[in-house]
Chain A
Amino acid sequence: MHKTFYDSAVYFYVCLLIGSCFAAFYPDASDSMMAFVGVLWSLLVFGMLLWMLERLHYHNKFTYKLGKKRLPEHLLDKMKRQKVYSKGMRSLKSFSVVNWFLLVSLLIFFIWGLWVTHSPNMPESLYALNDRILYYFKSFENFDRDSYRFFSFMDVSVRNILPLFIVALAYWAGQVFAYSNRNGHIIMWLCISLFVISLLLFVLYYTPVYNTFNLGVWGGYGWGRIDVLKALGVISSASQSSLQVRLYTLGLPGVFFLYLPALVVALIFIRNMFTKSTDRYKITLGLVILCVLFCIDAFYADDTAAFALWLSGWSCIAFLSIRGRTDVRKIYRIYQ
């Protein structure tokens, strides 16, 4: 039924997007489930990249001989090949400088997160607790105090960074379809519907958190220490918003690096406002989605369900942030 990987990938993308969003609302959403979702998204994007690589070298295949084919057959074949080739070429627009910048800012956030977790702003009470735990373990045989870590760095990295990279993969895959698919607007409206449903579910089942933001956190306490710091009374035990949790864990620079892609995309929307190639409703919708994502981050408690909003929201933005099509389409007609 489907002639190329690309055709199947569209369906896989849509199913995966819907599945990932609803999985995030599952009450027992675990790290393993998130890892499984991450593997599926990676496989999809890996396949798409291989498909694009093949398209890139496709022009070499044009140098084939006519052979026994008649001229109409030859022309039809050439038209088909040209269509597939141009589809691949259009999808390469997703490797724009802006997208590379978004990726680099995400990697900087990751490196900052690892660095802060490795060299955190440790309060005295946590030092004292760690010393007591080490004193307890000292009586164990073969206990190496120097190499002992109170939590696994790989675990906290997977838990905190993998969802963000899944969102990045979904955003990039969305841009590929937005550039190359003639029916991209259908997928765009599907993403918007998914975002609205996720938002409704989130607002219905989760209550907002009213807290004053403690912006004076520079270094941060690092990933994986929030619960113990709450128990020790270093930070308030009341439920915190996602933004406040990020401020505590990675400090102001961490929050800045995480919000930098959203800021850049907002600037792209504003730039698009002054060009005629993008519809106004797309710009408005994109800015509204960014505002909603920020409000959810600032006024709702940190929860895995927010992942559904991030995923569907950034998938919408992938379609909304691109400029309108300006390329000239070649149309071949055969007159008999």
Chain B
Amino acid sequence: MQITKPASIYCALILVSCILLTGLYGLLVQSRTFSAQQWSSHSLDLHHRSLNGMLTPQQQDMLSAEALDAMNKAVYRDPYNPNYWVRLVVMNKGNEQNMLRNSEAMGIAKLLKPDIILHHDQYIVPLNPARQKISE
């Protein structure tokens, strides 16, 4: 049972090309999970920098807002990761304006990880040096 027509080879070539493209996609395009990891680590770095006492309160607020924004992007990309939600809550703790969003984020984190305990040190560990290049 042998098919010696070149059509079968051409079909196989198309299939292998598809697998090759899939492999290249996996290699070159960041997965959403990986992208979320990058945003999360960037957010932690910004948060860490915002705690620097040498900065003015305005600079600290600006860095905190940037850190929160980056963490929101991480959560957007990987919404089923409870750690990101907890980090969001911890970063947003002193913000009175976002109380409602904070309680919502905590509720989601509790759903994803029922035995969660808010240890600040456990979730907010900055990476050093800060990552500068983040791809969308």
Contact = CB atoms under 8 A, between A and B. Distances in A.
Contacts of B126: none
Contacts of A43: 20
B26 A42 contact: no
A70 B45 CA distance: 78
B27 A35 contact: yes
A49 B29 CA distance: 27
Given A35-B22, A136-B108, 8 more contacts: A36-B23, A39-B23, A39-B27, A46-B17, A95-B9, A155-B31, A165-B22, A166-B19
A200 interface: no
Interface centre among B16, B76, B111 (most CB of A within 10 A): B16
A292 to B, nearest CB: 26
Grouping DSSP codes into helix (H, G, I), strand (E, B) and loop, the B interface class, with mixed when no group exceeds half, is helix
Interface of A: 31-32, 34-39, 41-43, 45-46, 49-50, 52-53, 56-57, 89, 92-93, 95-98, 100, 103, 129, 132-133, 135-137, 139-140, 150-152, 154-155, 157-159, 161-162, 165-166, 169, 227-228, 231-233
Interface residues of B, number: 41
Interface stretch (B53-61, B99-107, B127-135): B99-107
A104 B35 CA distance: 34
Interface in B1-54: 1-4, 6, 8-10, 12-13, 15-17, 19-20, 22-27, 29, 31-34
Interface of B: 1-4, 6, 8-10, 12-13, 15-17, 19-20, 22-27, 29, 31-34, 72, 76, 78-80, 82, 101, 104-105, 107-108, 111-114
B109 to A, nearest CB: 10
